[in-house]
Structure 1
Amino acid sequence: MAVANIYSRRLRASQSKGDDVYQYDTVPDKLRTQLLCIMDELFGSHSSLIEQAWQDLCKIVAKECGIRKLRVFPYQSSLVDYIEKDADLLEILDFCDLLFIYVRDVIESINKWCERNPFEIEQYAVFLRMYHPAIEELNTYFKESALGYEYNKTEIIRIDSQHIHKEIIKPVLQLLGDERFLKVDVEYRLAHQHYRNKLVKDCVVSCNRAFESMLKIICKLEGWEYQSGARASDLITLVRGKNLFRDGMAKNFDCFVTTLKNGVPALRNECGGHGEDSEQPEQPLFIAQYLLNLTASNVMFLYKAWEQYIQTKS
């Protein structure tokens, strides 16, 4: 009897790990420890807060997540043990939500207290300033561990629920699963790795290599010769001359070709080119994020143009 293509098999196939640069199922042990460190830094230097904070959090998590053992003393060790050993993925994400809800409530209470007792504000000033850095740290640790979630404004969200990731990044990763585009896939995933590690210049360089590789692969598949060392701008001129872009827009389309030339390659030369001063400060992380999105859009565009070209010439 043949193996039936039942729902669970179809679901697993549609969620192939190769289709994304993040995973959504497992919390690394390192991330659990980092989460506890964030809590220590939030409350650890405030003796008037720390004991009450651990107790309050235990009671909140026990109630919201139904974890009975967190209702008993000693609260801190119980919660640490829960985070390190027992909590599954959803419980960890719920805890992150509950932690920052609690911190916001504490900040609100402190602000009200300091309005009535302004001489006390210095005692809590450091704590009041730590809320946003703590969220930034958590999101950094999520990225570094390739866990596909982030704390966005006031709640945890999945990366692949964001429109750009769902509509641009994942479809490109699925496309690059084709072995013909292996080199593009390697470079583009490496760019994401650099982004997660905040290596902006390296991310930009890998984005450019992925873009150039896509152009070269199309040229090789079509037998279009190009000179050794050809740059992205040269390759775009070549494929434009071979009528890869057949959309009937005539001169208006040349504006888009110019955008292709001046997008990823230009940013690479400006932000991640060779021969830069090693002491030059790193570019903002949003530059890398922009390049990842731009590269995905351009790679998908090149593929669709090539797909149409094949259909037209046959």
Structure 2
Amino acid sequence: MSNEGYLGRELYSERMFPTKYDVLAYEVISRKTRVQIFQQVSSMLRTFTFRSKHDDIGSFYYGLMSNLKRRKGVTDFADLLSKASIQEMNRRSTKDYGVFSRDKDEGEFFKLLIYADEKDYLLILDMIDLLSYSVLERFKKGSSEKIDELINEVFRHNGIGYELVKGHVIHKGNEITHLEIIRPALLYLSDPLYSTANKEMLDAFSKFRENKFKDAIHQANKAFESTMKIIIHKNNWSIVNRNPKKKSPSVQAASANLLIDTILEHAQLNLLIDTTLEHGDLEKFHKTALEGMRNSLQTLASLRNAHGGHGEGNEIIETHKRHCEFALHMTASNIIYLIKTYG
């Protein structure tokens, strides 16, 4: 837990025996994790200021639960719980888990979050995702970042393989890959200039979380191409025309190969690169890097075509999942290089 403040101060056992997880959990989110999220978020929200003077905690949770029910196609939150979960909920008092308010909608949010089966991880993640986004929309600037940081700390402490980035739940995958590739790529794309590519990349992770691997690869491919188009437009480069008999296409209509050719031809080598290299070596390095990106795009297309269906059985699904993770990581790496070098 965070060391800041009374509620965040680590206990003796946490300081002496910090929890470390070699394998992160993705498809089980423990009740302990959810109780900690609700308790800490509930307390923190009451210290924030709403954007509108007409809002309060009650209206916040009313909007949150109304949105969730509409998205899930139900009229009662209990419709999203199993019979066993409802029976347990009816047996237990909400006081057992430390509810801080008797507001109806906050109570519903609490019950659904706590009593959902721990294996119903998609519902739980949807609730956390919607909670973070609602804070971003309803509270003043800076509030969402604090909530995301708090929830991420709870996730980390409990070995949960997800993280909130800019109000979106992201699958972490390998910890090092996530920290060094995925997170930086999303932070670069959070610049309003890259809003289109950012949305497509977030959609890719959303599809991945739903096991829609072909759609995830397709969205990653779109994010890759959108990033190149934005960079070309930002630098005011004209599209390379390999066929003088044909009119040069617009940036938006250009193929992926033309986009790479354009960047390769127009890019200036006046960046903060290792100056000990000879100019020819620099040019060769950039050409090699961009040719690698061309191959990456072809790989994405091949992966997308190869994942027409999910197949049956865990072995097939895990194979598709591994390929999709590779596609997402490869795309994120290329986006980081493009933006840092030319964007």
TM-score (norm 1): 0.50
Larger radius of gyration: 1
Of Structure 1 and Structure 2, which has the larger fraction of its residues in helix? 1
